[in-house]
Amino acid sequence: MSAIHTWACFLLWIGFATQDKTPDVTVTCSVSEECVLPCSFPPDSEVTIEWFRQNVVVYKFELEDDDSNESSEEHFEHEQLEGRAVIFPHLISRGNATLILRKTGLKDRGTYRCHVHSSKGEHNAKVIVKVEAPIRGLSLELSRLSGYEEMKCIVRNVFPAPRVTWATEPPTFEDLRPVTRMLADKQGLYTVDSRLKRLNGQPDLIYICKVSTSYGGPSWTTSLREREIRGTQGRDLTIPCYAPPYLNNPFLHWSFNNGEDPSHILSYDSQLGDTVSSPPWHNHVELDGFRVPFGDGSLRLMDPKHLEHSGSYTCVFSVPYNSHTERTEVTIDDPAAGRSMPEGPSYWWIVGLVVGVLVLALVGMLAYLKAKGSTSKPRNDPEEVTELHLVKDSAADRHVTESSPLTVGGTNGQSGLQTGAQLT
């Protein structure tokens, strides 16, 4: 019996100890917006409410019932909350001591405790406040300021510091080596600048930048593809625009920029199936709305003009937290204008002059060689002429000696007789 009595007392003590205890509440608030710190208690006509931050009183409110005439008194114990913290007196009689923080900043992070003292007892509630600056937008563009082409992904005024990742569509086997810089301002908000060098030899790639936060909020994704095409004046031209497969039923927006302020061409809502276009483009563009929900937002440019329609066309597919941009540089050629345009300075005369000089030089060289050859034929070397005369004279002497009997006989009588006999 004593054991049962002991357990009963223990359970009764536990019940009284926890009857006013509420579980901890975690709230996540956004910078510059209102933050609601909930606190409820059993209603009473006379209460004293205190809000603690890190066990230090920052706000105090007293409600008294003086002959059925309610009176209240408010005290700010911390200058950072003065003018920004408020409790609604008309809700206190209903047991609501919720604290509203206006223009929340990063300095408001921490653990808060609501303590209510009334004739019915005391009540405590614990609230953990997290403050973040969520991603409001994400931009991705092609930059050439570094001497080469690079994709630049920027997100501003976020907290805590986000995580940035890159990918391509279709995937590439090359290592992506982005450079990411994070800079915090005086309020502690981060600006993130992440850059990825454009891959060579793959002009049709989609570059994807994804930014996520550590608080578990929604991740943002943006992607970009750049291309260039040419057309001819008066001939219809299709400007391609295709969404990545992860965008379903997107909203489509087309715009044009030729160096002046960007102008709206048209927009299409896949949910409503509605197209809205600007008057100047009514007769020059055509969109197949049935293809847009499937990711094909290509625009048909009809009867394009050289000056009016040459420029940058941008299509943007968007769904909550995700967007895809395709920017196309379009050049409309005008053949008639090209023929009528005065030709630029011609340099063919230089080529003709060089060829003429070479021909004259060649003719002169041939004439010189011919003249030299004709002059050298009748002229012989003096030594060669002397040797030739000597040979001829020697041959003539031998002929005279062999054919003259006198000469032979005079030389030797016997020989002369033998020769004469041979001759006889």
> Which has more pLDDT, 50 or 82?
50
Strands 85-86 and 99-101, bridge-based pairing: antiparallel
CB 224 within 8 A of CB 327: yes
Whether pLDDT at 8 is above 50: no
Angle, vertex CA 101, rays to CA 70 and CA 192, nearest 5? 175
Q: Which residue has the higher pLDDT, 82 or 172?
A: 172
- Report whether 311 contacts 282 (CB < 8 A): no
> pTM above the 0.85 mark?
no
What percent of the chain has a predicted confidence (pLDDT) above 70? 76
Q: Which of 145, 141, 137 has the alpha carbon at shortest distance from 223?
A: 141
Cβ contacts of 98 within 8 Å, gap of 6 or more:
36, 37, 38, 39, 40, 87, 88, 91
Query: What band does 384 get if pLDDT is binned at 50, 70 and 90?
Result: very low
Q: What is the pLDDT of residue 216?
A: 74
**pLDDT score, position 345:** 56
Answer whether residue 260 shows pLDDT above 70.
yes
pLDDT of residue 9: 41
Average pLDDT over residues 317-338: 90
H or E element at residue 112: strand 110-118
pLDDT above 60 for 391: no
- The residue with greater pLDDT, 171 or 394, is 171
Does the pLDDT at position 415 exceed 80?
no
Residue-wise pLDDT tens digits, 170-212? 898 888 999 999 999 998 999 999 999 999 888 889 999 999 9
Which of 110-114, 273-277, 404-408 has the weakest average pLDDT? 404-408
Residue 310 φ/ψ, nearest 5 degrees: -85, 130
pLDDT exceeds cutoff 60 at 394: no
**pLDDT tops 90 at residue 230:** yes
- With helix as H, strand as E and coil as C, how does 327-344 read? EEEEEEECHHHHHHCCCC
Whole-number Å distance between alpha carbons of 366 and 378 = 20
| Residue 17 predicted with pLDDT over 50 | no
Q: Is residue 150 within 8 Å of residue 224, measured between CB atoms? A: no
Q: What pLDDT was estimated at residue 375?
A: 59
Question: What is the average per-residue pLDDT within 3-30?
Answer: 57
- Examine the pLDDT at 388 and tell me if it is beyond 60: no
- Predicted local distance difference test score (pLDDT) of residue 27: 94
Give the DSSP letter string of 187-203.
TS-EEEEEEEEPPTT-T
Domains, the chain, ranges and CATH?
A: 20-132 (2.60.40.10), 133-218 (2.60.40.10), 225-337 (2.60.40.10)
Which range has highest mean pLDDT (193-197, 256-260, 387-391)? 193-197
DSSP state of 176: P
Q: Checking DSSP bridges between strand 25-30 and strand 121-132, what pairing results, if any?
A: parallel
DSSP 337-397: HHHHSPP----HHHHHHHHHHHHHHHHHHHHHHHHHHHHHSS---HHHHHHHHHHHHHHHH
Q: What is the pLDDT of residue 424?
A: 31
pLDDT of residue 320 exceeding 50, the answer is: yes
The band of 16, judged by pLDDT with boundaries at 50, 70 and 90, is: very low
* Pick from 306-315, 316-325, 415-424: least confident: 415-424
Which pLDDT score, from 0 to 100, does residue 280 have?
A: 87
The pLDDT of residue 167 is 94
pLDDT at residue number 79: 61
Predicted pLDDT at 421:
35
pLDDT tens by residue, 344-365: 555 666 877 888 888 888 888 8
Percent of the chain with pLDDT over 90: 46
Residues 187 and 32: their CA atoms lie apart, in Å, by 11
